Amino acid sequence: MKISVMALVASVGMAASAVAAEIAPTAVTYTDGAVEQSLTGVAGNPEEGAKIIGSKKLGNCVACHQVTALADVPWQGGIGPVLDGAGDRWSEAELRGIVANAKMMFEGTMMPAFYKDTGFIRPGKAFTGEAADDTLGPLLSAQQVEDVVAYLATLKD
Amino acid sequence: MNMLTRGLATGMMALFAASGAMAEAADDNLVINGEIEIVTRTEAPAHLSDTMDEIMSGWLFRGEETRAMEADDFDNPGMIFVEQGEEAWNTAEGSEGKSCADCHGASSEMAGVRPVYPKYVEAAGEVRTLEMQVNDCRENRMGAEKWDYTGGEMVNMVALLSSVSRGLPVNVAIDGPAQSTWEKGKEIYYTRFGQLELSCANCHEDNYGNMIRADHLSQGQINGFPTYRLKNNKLNAVQSRFKGCVRDTRAETFKPGSPEFVALELYVGSRGNGLSVEGPSVRN
Q: What is the mean pLDDT of residues A83-106?
A: 98
CB contact under 8 A, B195 and A139: yes
pLDDT tens-digit map of B141-199: 999 999 999 999 999 999 999 999 999 999 999 999 999 999 999 999 999 999 999 99
How many CA atoms within 13 Å lie on the side-chain side of A16? 8
ipTM greater than cut 0.95? no
pLDDT for position B122: 97
Question: What is the rounded CA–CA span in Å between residue B44 and residue A105?
Answer: 33
CB contact under 8 A, B20 and A128: no
Q: Hey, what's the torsion of the CAs at B221, B210, B13, B51, to 10 degrees?
A: 60
Q: What is the mean pLDDT of residues B4-14?
A: 42
Nearest C-alpha neighbor of B71 from the set B26, B32, B124, B128: B32
pTM tops 0.95: no
pLDDT for position B29: 96
**DSSP labels, chain A:** -HHHHHHHHHHHHIIIIIHHHPPPGGGPPPBTTB--S-SSSS---HHHHHHHHH-TTTT-GGGT---GGGTTSS---SSS---TTHHHHS-HHHHHHHHHHGGGTSTT-SPPPSS--S--SSBBSTTSSSBP-TT---SS-HHHHHHHHHHHHT---
Mean per-residue pLDDT of chain A: 91
Q: What are the Cα distances from residue B159, in Å, to B8, B85, B140?
A: 39, 7, 22
pLDDT for position A21: 78
Tell me if chain B has a CB within 8 Å of the CB of A108. no
Residue of B nearest to A136 (CA): B195
Give how far B85 is from chain A: nearest CA, Å: 29
Residue of A nearest to B240 (CA): A129
* Chain A CB contacts of B197 below 8 Å: 112-113, 120-121
Whether the pLDDT of residue B21 is over 90: the answer is: no
Topology of domain A2-154, CATH: Cytochrome Bc1 Complex; Chain D, domain 2 (1.10.760)
Q: At what angle do helices B179-189 and B259-270 cross, to 10 degrees?
A: 90
Nearest C-alpha neighbor of B254 from the set B239, B274, B233, B276: B239
Find the catalytic residue in B103, B137, B203, B245.
Answer: B245
Q: Find the CB nearest B211 among A60, A77, A110.
A: A77
CB contact under 8 A, B251 and A136: no
* Chain A CB contacts of B193 below 8 Å: 120-122
Q: How confident is the model at residue A157 (pLDDT cuts 50, 70, 90)?
A: confident
Question: Cα B18 to chain center, whole Å?
Answer: 29
Q: How confident is the model at residue B8 (pLDDT cuts 50, 70, 90)?
A: very low
Question: What is the rounded CA–CA span in Å between residue A83 and residue A105?
Answer: 17
Q: Find the CB nearest B250 among A62, A74, A123.
A: A123
For chain A, give every domain's residue range.
2-154
3-class DSSP state for residue B148? coil
pLDDT tens-digit map of B264-276: 999 999 999 999 9
The one-letter amino acid at A7 = A
pLDDT for position B15: 42
C-alpha torsion sign, points A116, A117, A120, A122: positive
Contacts A–B by Cβ distance under 8 A: 93
Give how far A29 is from chain B: nearest CA, Å: 20
Give how far B59 is from chain A: nearest CA, Å: 20
Q: How confident is the model at residue B24 (pLDDT cuts 50, 70, 90)?
A: confident
Mutate to test the interface with B, among A121, A130, A139 (most CBs of B within 10 A): A121
Whether the pLDDT of residue A1 is over 70: the answer is: no
pLDDT for position B22: 60
CB contact under 8 A, A129 and B243: yes
Helices (H), B20-118: 64-70, 79-89, 100-104
Give how far B213 is from chain A: nearest CA, Å: 4
Mean per-residue pLDDT of chain B: 93
Q: Find the CB nearest B252 among A76, A110, A123.
A: A123
Whether the pLDDT of residue A52 is over 90: the answer is: yes
CB contact under 8 A, A77 and B19: no
pLDDT tens-digit map of A13-28: 444 444 557 999 999 9
Q: What are the Cα distances from residue B254, in Å, to B32, B117, B242, B244, B263?
A: 34, 20, 9, 10, 11
Tell me if chain B has a CB within 8 Å of the CB of A56. yes
Q: How confident is the model at residue B23 (pLDDT cuts 50, 70, 90)?
A: confident
Q: What is the mean pLDDT of residues B7-27?
A: 54
* Chain B CB contacts of A125 below 8 Å: 252
Percent above pLDDT 70 for chain B: 92
pLDDT tens-digit map of B214-239: 999 999 999 999 999 999 999 999 99
* Chain B CB contacts of A136 below 8 Å: 195
Whether the pLDDT of residue B2 is over 80: the answer is: no
The verdict on whether B245 is a catalytic residue reads yes
* Chain B CB contacts of A122 below 8 Å: 193-194, 251-252
CB contact under 8 A, B213 and A124: no
- Other C-beta atoms within 10 Å of A96: how many? 29
pLDDT tens-digit map of B31-50: 999 999 999 999 999 999 99
Give how far B123 is from chain A: nearest CA, Å: 33
Interface of B with A (CB under 8 A): 16, 19-22, 191-198, 202, 206-207, 210-214, 243, 246-253
Q: What is the mean pLDDT of residues A121-128?
A: 97
pLDDT for position B172: 98
Question: What is the rounded CA–CA span in Å between residue B165 and residue B276?
Answer: 9
